[in-house]
Chains A and B, each alone.
Chain A
């Protein structure tokens, strides 16, 4: 059904039309619209994050690996960037745990690049490992989202974006039609012995965070503090 082997879009256009995911009647990339590059090896998660982002008026490109992301950005050695007059990415959101290249490694490469180091990068992970979060934030990640990602999480991300874009309401309303005013091998390489020896792992089920993450302040250090104060 869907293209499991990746490529720039996680689903071919015909499939997206067929299952009604992704508003293909939306205009081509337009300089006023926020463009997010989403990176996740899980097809289900890509679909969900793509929908979450579209519902908050973002244009989304979803890829299934760090390598594809670099390829898309033109940061890999061999191939040229995808042809846009000006490749414009306003936010990169990536899963941490991916085979081949982790989200952390992708983050580093982006921050090392001249063209994209200013682009905010958000890391997503299903595991609340504090040393992992710290490493990512120290490397320049804008924020760290705990999976499963919710609408409130994505809405909060808008504060990192340079463009001032109206966010559509919750739930059943369609996105506004008017444009916004003015952005190996299968072996997982994310579990290193270095990380597991001194980290505190908090299982999802023991967290008592409210499901509405919009209650936590916008800036990432506060979110970290909030998580650190929870009983383990």
Chain B
């Protein structure tokens, strides 16, 4: 094992994950999920967020259909979708996605279609952005493991 390389990768990982928290992409719940990962379930976090992203894609698609026709918006369906996304984003620590959902719910409550469309676009952007960021993070994890190192535990106070 090349300890210098491992050390560098670990520092890179640490800096990256800290930046994700500082920029508000992730919150404490993501830390909680990382606690649940171990040698027996080494890909737990990656798998849960993958399910979350699949969920996002599907729900966003459904809401898009509901919002499509200006004269015939199914706000109940949209509200249901927002509720679902707010819940699951909260459960995985996807802070920005969750925050968009809060604004989205407000638009839905007052049946503001334009507002909903903006929020829809934003939530789509945010989940995709997070997906990219986390993919980079998981890649770093893999590099560390392949170099023979261990993933650092990062505590965010």
Contacts and interface: CB of A to CB of B under 8 A. Distances in A.
Interface residues of A, number: 35
B83 interface: yes
17 contacts: A19-B47, A20-B43, A20-B47, A21-B47, A44-B51, A48-B48, A147-B87, A148-B91, A150-B29, A151-B35, A171-B35, A171-B153, A172-B39, A187-B76, A188-B79, A188-B80, A205-B102
A188 B121 CA distance: 24
B66 to A, nearest CB: 11
Interface of B: 28-29, 32-33, 35-44, 47-48, 51-52, 54-55, 76-77, 79-80, 83-84, 86-88, 90-93, 102, 153
A51 B92 contact: no
Interface of A: 1-2, 19-21, 23, 42-45, 47-48, 51-52, 55, 97, 99, 126, 147-151, 170-174, 186-188, 203-205, 211
A204 B87 CA distance: 11
A42 B76 contact: no
A55 B34 CA distance: 13
Among B28, B32, B86, find the residue whose CB has the most chain A CB atoms closer than 10 A: B32
Say whether chain A's binding surface is mostly helix, strand, loop, or mixed.
Answer: loop
B44 A172 contact: no
B44 A21 contact: yes
Contacts, number: 88
Nearest to A45: B91
B91 A44 contact: yes
Contact of A47 (B38, B48, B80, B102): B48
B91 A48 contact: yes
B38 A51 contact: no
B84 A148 contact: no
Contacts of A205: 102
A97 B40 contact: no
Contacts of B48: 44, 47-48
Contacts of A20: 40-44, 47
